[in-house]
Amino acid sequence: MIRVLVVDDDFRVAALHSSFVNQVSGFTSVGVAHTAEAAVAASARLRPDLVLLDQYLPDGLGTSVLRDLAADVIMLTAADDSVTVRAALSAGALNYLVKPFTPAQLGERLLAYARYRGQLTGERGLGQDEIDRAMAMLHDADAPAAGLPKGRSAVTAQRILFAIRDAVAPMTAVEIADATGVSRATAQRYLADLAQSGKLELSLRYGSAGRPEHLYRWRGTSRAGGGTG
């Protein structure tokens, strides 16, 4: 389970963002803070994996304490000026979401973060391709059509992604075709594209005879399968 600290000066907004977090499978809000000082203290006490950080706080700017939070940070703020964006990214923010935003937009970035985090688990050495894939996962914001060939339908891609996300186990192309109502050939095309873009993980299942089956699994956190982190 990925533990999240929400920092916002507005009590109602902080509670709302906290509820958004708890609606995303694999994430849990472990606390809220309303000032820069309280954010640093809460981060030290609660040791979250991720902080959702506002910029405008009563006792200072979010970017002024970002490095002191000892956690990954995504900025959630109304500040849309280039100076603040540069300051946040320079200080180490992994992503930046401008208010107002929808629960879905926040959820997309959280799931992208979960995929990024999953790619970098353990203490093993990483190849450049793995590092590149992790960075792509972090910033694709779970947009279903991102990275897909021209002509693919975002709606179909999303339907396939959601079917796999909600599955209790990895799925074959035939199972996905049956679950989504598309043909097997269509499912195979989209699955190959989605695996190539890093949104799905591909593995093989070998039977007693014949060709191995391709199995597809959600790279983030399955609704049925528990947490990441």
pLDDT digits 0-9 by tens, 123-150: 888 888 888 878 877 776 545 555 567 7
Q: How far apart are CA 97 and CA 79, in angstroms?
A: 9
pLDDT of residue 208: 62
User: Can you say whether the dihedral through the CA atoms of 152, 154, 156, 162 is positive or negative?
Assistant: positive
Mean pLDDT of 147-171: 79
**Residue where the block lists tokens 């709302």:** 16
Mean pLDDT of 45-67: 97
Q: Does residue 57 surpass a pLDDT of 60?
A: yes
Nearest to 76, CA basis, from 58, 49, 94: 94
Asked if residue 30 lies in contact with residue 46, where contact means CB atoms within 8 angstroms, the answer is: yes
Q: How far apart are CA 25 and CA 28, in angstroms?
A: 8
Asked if residue 145 lies in contact with residue 154, where contact means CB atoms within 8 angstroms, the answer is: yes
Please indicate whether residue 9 or residue 26 has the higher confidence score (pLDDT).
9
Within 23-172, where are the H helices? 36-46, 62-65, 82-91, 103-119, 128-139, 154-165
Domains, in order of start, for the chain = 2-117 (3.40.50.2300), 144-229 (1.10.10.10)
Q: Does residue 221 surpass a pLDDT of 50?
A: no
Mean pLDDT of 169-192: 92
pTM assigned to the model: 0.65
pLDDT of residue 77: 95
Please name the amino acid found at residue 179: A
Please indicate whether residue 201 or residue 32 has the higher confidence score (pLDDT).
32
- Crossing angle of the two packed helices 11-22 and 103-119, in degrees rounded to 10: 60
| Bond before 100 cis per omega within 30 degrees | yes
Angle at 162 between CA 157 and CA 165, to 5 degrees: 125
Instruction: Tell me the average pLDDT of the chain.
Output: 86
Asked if residue 191 lies in contact with residue 222, where contact means CB atoms within 8 angstroms, the answer is: no
Confidence of residue 91 (pLDDT cuts 50, 70, 90): very high
**Residue where the block lists tokens 């959630």:** 76
What residues are paired with 28 via a beta bridge?
3
Asked if residue 139 lies in contact with residue 112, where contact means CB atoms within 8 angstroms, the answer is: yes
Please write the tens of the pLDDT for every residue from 33-47: 999 999 999 999 999
What would the two tokens of residue 19 be?
A: 């509820």
Q: Does residue 183 surpass a pLDDT of 60?
A: yes
pLDDT of residue 224: 41
Nearest to 176, CA basis, from 153, 198, 200: 200
pLDDT of residue 53: 98
